[in-house]
Structure 1
Amino acid sequence: MKKQTLLYTLFILAFNCANKKKEAPITRTYVEESHSYAKPNEAVIKHLDLDIVVDFETEVITGTASYAIENYEASEIVLDSKFLDIIRTEVDGRPNKFELGSFDEQLGQALRIPISKDTKQVTVHYKTTDKTEALQWLSPQQTADKKHPFLFTQGQAILTRSWIPIQDSPQIRITYDAKVVVPKELMAVMSAENPKQKTVDGVYNFEMKQPISPYLIALAIGDLEYKAVSNRTGVYAEKSMVDKAQAEFIDMEKMVVAAENLYGDYDWDQFDVIVLPPSFPFGGMENPRLTFATPTVIAGDKSLTSLIAHELAHSWSGNLVTNATWNDFWLNEGFTVYFEIRIMEALYGKDRANMIALIGRQDLEEEVEGFKDEPEMTKLKLDLSNKNPDDGMNSIAYDKGYLFLRTLEEKVGRDTFDAFLKNYFKTNAFSTVTTESFIDYLNSNLLEPNGITFNTEEWIYQPGIPDNQSIIVSNKFENAEKTLQYYLDTKAVDVSKTQDWTTQEWVHFIRNFPETVTTDDLLRLDNAFDFTNATNSHIAMVWYEQAINHDYHGNDVDQKIEDFLIRVGRRWYVSTLFKAFKKADKAEKALAIYEQSRPNYHSVTVNTIDVLLGYDKE
């Protein structure tokens, strides 16, 4: 009997071992990512505890990044790091060794930390350096009030790794807590729950409960004040700017309501905007709960607030449902432009929405022409291997993506398309999507159930713009063109014809100057409308571009252009003007201005203009 029991036990053990070997492998939920060293299918971060001290005198952030991890019995966890001083690491609270891989100019270094299959937490002690790309330290003179220094971060696309060692891929979503210590006269705010007033001791604690991609972790520090617009919207800015910002963005709550009416609840609790100093490289950055915005959007008449609608729309397309890789970037921006224009239509009417869309269509035409030698860059789904993901952040993703969705809407009908999009955001909330998974969702939930044939593959995987594109028209733009022609033909300017024009009409008017326009014509228009001294940054930018294109030098415009380029760091604006200089064979003048303006720009803008002008960093 004992012998039989022993044999039976051995049989059961052998059977279990054999079956254990046959168990299904761990499900690999993350796709291959060319812009991150992380191996999330082996070990992935899930929550960050950040504890940092910000020193404005040395311009260094020092602290720790501690991660709760999900571990698939891995022998190491790999983080991304760039231009960071890694001091030491810990695993489950115990000191541990680490290894930094070879340096790559775009990706930085792999930070490899050995772990065991039971490891639950890793901690990195580190400092930023003077090469850290995400940070811009500003002197008091570079701020609006000129009294205190300022700091802001810019993480998109792969710069968060330069101020926090992290798995810097958009498909990796984490929650985070942070303790940030700053000089007591300053306020710190993040893409998280934020204070409304300064603390006494300069210590700030933050919590982001919803999982976000690393590029959306953001920090700003300055002499800030807060003013509410509604119980869930408001603005942060320096004292001299906060009232202007509140007045300019007074429709924020209406925008949130309009967005919710379209595509479902706003899932981030609070929607605030911080107006940063003018060196901020983008129009806006959709950091959850706290959009970062350029002061160039403050025109005094709410005419440029489509940017706020755009960043709000990202709360669904981008923040809630995120591109899995930077090759899929159009899923963030094409959807967001579509959503932005729908918000603007709901609040301000179809005429204004169509004008915004048509300006984007013009930008797209110029972008396609600019890529005539690289047609593959005009595809929606890109292959950015061995390239900076910033290379794909252009009008193709934004405006071709929008045009694809607008064309699709016209094909299936607005009500059907709205129901589809609302369900898409709800189904994929707090997750990431590849282009291929979107196409599968589109086919299964919109095209096939409705018996609709659409050239999706051509739109996404082929260069250029398909023939079945939506045609955007604007009667107001046609009137602007006729008015311009009248002024040029009669050599007379009747300002009563333009007194009710929007920013979009003025931009279209200026953009449509013919090649034959003379400097006398430009002077006449400038004297009538004072374009050279325009306080609206978009109007000023397109006017300065035309002044460069047509060799116009009236009304001290050359000095105004130089002042604009030194003061404003918004990449779109400055790259447009430097391109114009280059096209007009005025590269020497452009480089002279750039020598002065470069120290005021964020690294995102610097990297673009360095390449554009062939700037010698040495």
Structure 2
Amino acid sequence: MAPIDPHSFTDSTHPLATHIALTLYVDFATSTIHGSALLTLPGPYSGPLSLDARSLTIHAVFEPHGSTPILFSLSPPDPIMGCHVTLSLSNQSSFLVLFSTSPSSSALQWLSPEQTFNKRCPFVYTQCQSIHARSVFPCQDTPAARVRYTCLLNLPRRLSAVMSARHLDRRSPLSHEAAALAPDHSSLWCSEERVVEEFVMDQPVPPYLFAFAAGELGFREVGPRTRVYAEAAPELLDGAAREFARTEEMIQQGERLFGPYEWERFDLLVLPPSFPYGGMENPRMVFLTPTVIKGDSSGAQVVAHELAHSWTGNLITNKTNDHFWLNEGFTTYAERRIVESVQGEDIAALNIGIGWRGLNEEMERFKDRMEFTKLKTNQEGVDPDDVYSQVPYEKGFQFLWRIERQIGRPAFDEFLKKYIATFKFQSIDTETFLDFLKANIPGIEKDVDLELWTEGTGIPPDAYEPVSNIYTKIVSLANEFKLGRMPREDEVADWQGQEWELYLENLPKSVEASQVLALDERYRLSESKDYEVKVGFLQLAISSKCRDYYGVVEKTLKEVGRMKYLRPLYTTLVQGPGKEEEKILAERVFAEARDCYHPIAQGVVASILAKHL
């Protein structure tokens, strides 16, 4: 066996599926999906074939029309990769797998009506990055395997669904479609209380970009190729529409910088607060946390990042998670170019400054595991969720920015367009990128230490802290706080969330509790609607043992599930000596809030507590 990915059982000697036809029955009563997956190979194949599965029950495997069974075996579960499904094929070019998910699926979050905004209907959504698609359906779950798919999604009629694919139809169920399901569930398919939503993805995508959500959804039109979806509440939809009103302008700037937008539509779905990320770049249907709706359009920068993935990540994908920087470093660079075009150089400089501080903090986080401060990593035997960080984003950005400074922006823009056109709809590794870089920018390896940047630990000496008037002013004011001077109101009168975020990131890790109280009394940072600001302030309060804010900390941990906020707050509570009261608080809050977090976030918080308690 020769695995092609340290996080997949997919074998390099086996053919990769080119198409998957999915039939999924969404059962809210049991928090499970009963389904079938018809996988098509490039041609007839005989021999063993490996698939990935996690928390799935495989009922049977058949030839395409369900008449002749195909032998299969299932390994004991690996704690990171799940189960190895081995099929025994005999001159077959396709096969049908019948399966059911588990309520413990790591990709799926099932929300009761009480956990939703309107509190009327249940809600379910997926989050498949990095290796969680295998907990929704059996597949070759590696970004090296790009696949087209169709999906029939059977759900309660009062709900609707969206998917990272083109919507074809919403109709009553057809009886012959139920034949693909396990017999115990096929009779339920054609209930009058059910409806089928039909989708197709015609372009080959890695499995982690498979996504759907179902619930009581509404939408607003915000551009010729963009709708904003959310739970059907006017205040939520209107707020999202205002926040993302300039989306079409961003798409046009992306096309100007990086070439044609290949995905036809760029729709947005604002999910419930439990969504564990800021955004997820699912093609045609970006998923977003509601915390990006800030009321000042600054949340659109998350949209700019997910939009940039339309070229770097979705069109060109990292071959394995060891090369994750190819997705996120390029996308962070592209995001900041889009932001600079739409919102100006000062805002882009703030983004870079916030990222620079974040990168330096990650060096401290990984000081005992410096492997994960590299761009090209070795993640064999490591859960990618455990080492998810800002390193591939910010160090990757810094690497590309270094190349831009070396050859000039016009030349780098030309290189980027050629890179995207050359490798679109492919999954590549770091070596492929470096070979292309050296071939198209002759001599670059003499001016930039490519090996140090991609395989070296830490931050290279030619990385660059941003320089701009606004950045310098904010850092200077933060330094003055260390000497006991708070900023005057006239100095911060025009500050929005990003300015405060950068200010807080540049403050000492802990100060006198009286200073924390005085800062909040003047500027009410603990009440900010911008969670970057609120969480930054609460970290300072915890580190300074200013216990006046522990009630706000608890409330925040219970109302959002975004890991960008959970990770620092729980870590600050439990890390370091003399934190017994804080550790008790962290354990209690997690026990009470756990069921409101997505399974991925549950795992991350549990590992933080296990490390420090």
Q: Is 1:289 aligned with 2:277?
A: no
- Correspondence for 2:147 among 168, 171, 174: 174
Residue 508 (structure 2) aligns with: 514
Q: Indicate the residue corresponding to 1:116 in structure 2.
A: 90
Root-mean-square deviation (CA, aligned residues, Å) is: 2.2
Alignment pair present for 1:261 and 2:256: yes
Runs of 5+ unmatched residues, structure 2:
173-192
8 A Cα contact 2:39 2:94, kept in partner = yes
Change (3 A) 1:343 1:196: farther
In the alignment, what sits opposite 2:69? Answer: 95
Aligned residue type for 1:255: M
In structure 2, relative to structure 1, the CA distance for the partners of 1:40 and 1:387 (3 Å cut) is same
CA distance in 2, matches of 1:518, 1:307: 34
Distance 1:198 1:98 in 2: 35
Contact 2:258 2:417 in 1 (8 A): yes
- Aligned-pair distance for 1:497? 2.3
| Alignment match, 1:76 | 48
Within the candidate set 111, 123, 132, 1:150 is matched to 123
1:403 Cα shift? 0.5
Question: Cα–Cα, structure 1 residues 72 and 446, in superposed 2: closer, same or farther, change >3 Å?
Answer: farther
Gaps of 5+ in 1: 1-27
Contact 1:44/1:71 (<8 A) preserved? no
Q: CA deviation at 1:114?
A: 1.2
Contact kept? 1:186, 1:224, Cα under 8 Å: yes
- Name the structure 2 match of 1:529: 523
Q: Corresponding residue for 1:230?
A: 223
**CA offset at residue 201 of structure 1?**
5.1
The code of the aligned residue for 1:44 comes to: L
SS in 2 for 1:369: helix
Residue 468 (structure 1) shift: 1.6
Instruction: Give SS of 2:460's match.
Output: coil
**Equivalent in the alignment of 1:194:** 167
Q: Secondary structure, in 3 states, of the residue corresponding to 1:405?
A: helix
Following the alignment from structure 2 to structure 1, what is the Cα–Cα distance between the partners of residues 103 and 595? Answer: 13
Number of the residue aligned with 1:56:
28
Worse-superposed segment, 542-551 or 64-73? 64-73
Query: What's the counterpart of residue 16 of structure 1?
Result: none
Shift of 1:533: 1.2
1:335 deviates by 0.4
1:197–1:225 CA contact under 8 A, matched in 2: no
CA distance in 1, matches of 2:254, 2:442: 24
Say if 2:609 is the partner of 1:613.
Answer: yes
Aligned residues: 585
Q: Name the aligned partner's letter for residue 498 of structure 2.
A: Q
CA contact (8 A) 2:3 2:12 kept: no
SS of equivalent to 1:336? helix
Instruction: Work out whether 1:594 is the aligned partner of 2:568.
Output: no
Distance 1:126 1:136 in 2: 18
1:239 corresponding residue in structure 2? 232
- 1:311 is displaced (CA, Å) by 0.4
- Residues of 2 paired with 1:413 and 1:452: CA distance? 16
Match of 1:399 in 2: 394
SS in 2 for 1:447: coil
Which residues of 2 match residues 180-579 of structure 1 at below 5 A?
180-194=153-167, 202-240=195-233, 241-448=236-443, 453-484=447-478, 494-514=488-508, 517-554=511-548, 557-579=549-571
Residues 198/601 of structure 1: CA separation in 2 closer, same or farther (3 Å cut): farther
Give the distance between the partners of 1:492 and 1:454, measured in 2 at CA.
41
Aligned to 2:102: 129
Amino acid at match of 1:235: V
Corresponding position of 1:106: 80
Shift in Å, 1:484: 4.9
- Does the aligned pair in 2 maintain the 1:341–1:356 contact within 8 Å? yes
- Contact 1:77–1:113 under 8 Å retained in 2: yes
Name the SS of the counterpart of 1:43 in structure 2.
coil
CA deviation vs aligned residue, 1:98-146 (integer Å, no higher than 9, x gap): 11123211111111111123x1111100111122111100111211111
Quote the Cα distance in structure 2 between the aligned partners of 1:430 and 1:493: 50
Q: Residue 195 and residue 120 in structure 1: after superposition, are their counterparts in 2 closer, same or farther (change >3 A)?
A: closer
Deviation for aligned residue 1:607: 1.1
After superposition, what is the alpha-carbon deviation per residue over 1:290-316, rounded to whole angstroms, capped at 9, x for unaligned? 011000111111123211100000011
Return the alpha-carbon distance in structure 2 between the equivalents of residues 484 and 104 of structure 1: 47
- For residues 174-205 of structure 1, give each alpha carbon's deviation from its aligned partner in whole angstroms, at most 9, with x where no partner exists: 11111001111111111001379998952100
CA contact (8 A) 2:108 2:125 kept: yes
- The question of whether the paired residues in 2 share the 8 Å contact of 1:80 and 1:111 is answered with yes
Residue identity opposite 1:475 in structure 2? N
Structure of greater Rg? 1
For residues 112 and 467 of structure 1, do their structure 2 counterparts lie closer, same or farther at Cα, with a shift above 3 Å needed? same
Segment of structure 1 superposing worse, 544-553 or 329-338: 544-553
In the TM superposition, residue 446 of structure 1 has moved relative to its aligned partner by 1.8
CA–CA distance in 1 between the matches of 2:561 and 2:514?
31
* Greater displacement, 38-47 / 399-408: 38-47
| Separation in 2, partners of 1:460, 1:397 | 10
TM-score by length of 2: 0.91
